[in-house]
Amino acid sequence: MTRTILAALLLASTAAAPALAKDRRAKPPEEPRAKNVILFIGDGMGISTITAARIYEAQKRGETGEENQLSFEKFPNVALVKTYNTNAQVPDSAGTATAMHSGVKTRIGVLGIGPEAEKGVCRDALAHPLPLLGEQVKARGLALGIVTTTRITHATPASVYSRSADRDWESDTSIPENQQGQGCKDIALQLAEAKFDVALGGGTAMFYGKKGGGRRADPAADLPAAWAAKNGGVVVRDAASLAAAPMDKPVFGLFNPSHLTFMADRKPDSPEPTLTDMTAQAIARLKGDKDGYYLMVEGGRIDHAHHAGQAGYALEEAVEFARAVQYAVDHTDPAETLIMVTADHSHVFTIAGYPKRGNDILGLMVPPAGGGEDGGDGETAPPALDGKPYTTLGYANGPGGLYKDDDDDGEHERPMPETGLRARQQALVPLGSETHGGEDVALFATGPGAERARGVIEQNVIYTIITKALGWEK
């Protein structure tokens, strides 16, 4: 009897095993899908810039600053991103932005073309095209928006919609004579021929001929008018016109002959929209598309300020960038919108010394009382070995560097450092323009698909995070 019972139990368990295995193989629940994706790119916004900007933002409110968080630092998912180009240890914006908008790393200085193509060679560019996220978005029926504080033909915004053998081919007059007539179009012409719903930035000169105050070869050239006629769109040239433009038509905004004005130099009555203004307009216009949208927003002048060695200008731009991110967070549905914030690359920007808690981030390095390597009184900036104080913020290279000309007589002394918003920080190596940095940058993410932003990733994986969140691939 016992043997019979045991045999029956054994047969039952054997029969149940396949069913249990089948249950274990059941498909996991589908991940939430994003209807919309917004990618914020702080051009040149390395981690040291984020740290300094959080302190600066809070100090403007009268706080010490170190405890502050910028809007995007509150996002739950964070990754480190490797930024190198295929032929460069320290990258530029064209190669890095192409990685994010094509899914493929490529050479320094090129847009939307593979690493097999030689920079500046039109035929190579035509032979090695990469996917463009902007084209894919429109082909799948989504709305497309591009917002930047730079020329809209500049490297980062151009990576959304253009392929170019050289990032500098922004206008037809920028293409070298020996590369003309081979089938390559300048970046401005590519945007004018592209499909988009919102494009806002600077760069008027790239789209008009001499009669319109531009630099195109045809004196009568008017690419925005041609775009508007073909697409039923509206061209605007100032913030008031942007706000008044019909919400049901594509809009093309050009607000400066070149880059938009730095926030630090902007007057209260400026006709130019801020980055937050443009972000607000883009979201309001794109959200009506039932199929969703992709929006790229670039805070591009963070980078330009760093190149000039002016940290205060860079931090003002970063604070405005964070404000634009917060607007997006407040005016989108977190259940259907993936928002990511990153940088294309870093800069050789440092926060140095042993400054006391709450020390003016744009001021001289003052250590806490009894702090630092040699102590301090918490009130005065101790001198360096040359007898002069130094600022907390500085650069490894750039326009603030010192050098001795051959005809200099005597000792070449370091001047007293400048402080404040408009200061040019001192640099170790004298260069006409400060350079990019090669370290990893941060990626912050929230919304459907944000959990893929983790660990240390290659920059082109950002494209994959976007396409998977939109449900284009598993």
By annotation, the residues acting in catalysis are: 93
Q: CA 403, CA 425: separation in Å to the nearest integer?
A: 15
Neighbours of 401 (CB within 10 A): 17
- What is the distance between the terminal CA atoms of the chain, rounded to a whole angstrom? 54
Residue 122 CA to residue 124 CA, distance in Å, equals 5
d(CA 63, CA 48): 19
- Dihedral sign (CA 439, 44, 299, 164): negative
Q: What is the C-alpha separation between 220 and 228, in angstroms, rounded?
A: 16
Going by the DSSP 8-state scheme, the letter that residue 374 receives in this structure is S
Using DSSP's 3-state secondary structure scheme, residue 301 falls into helix
Distance CA 89, CA 80 (A): 16
Find how far residue 138's CA is from the centre of its chain: 21
206 HSE (CA, 13 A, CB side)? 28
Residue pair 434/347 in contact (Cβ under 8 Å)? The answer is yes
Among all chains, which residue has been given the structure tokens 């006391």? 356
Which token pair is 7?
Answer: 């045999």
CB 222 within 8 A of CB 256: no
φ, ψ at 338 (rounded to 5°): -85, 120
String of b and e for 119-153 (b: at least 16 CB within 10 Å)?
bbbbebbeebebebbbbbbbeeebbbbbbbbbbbb
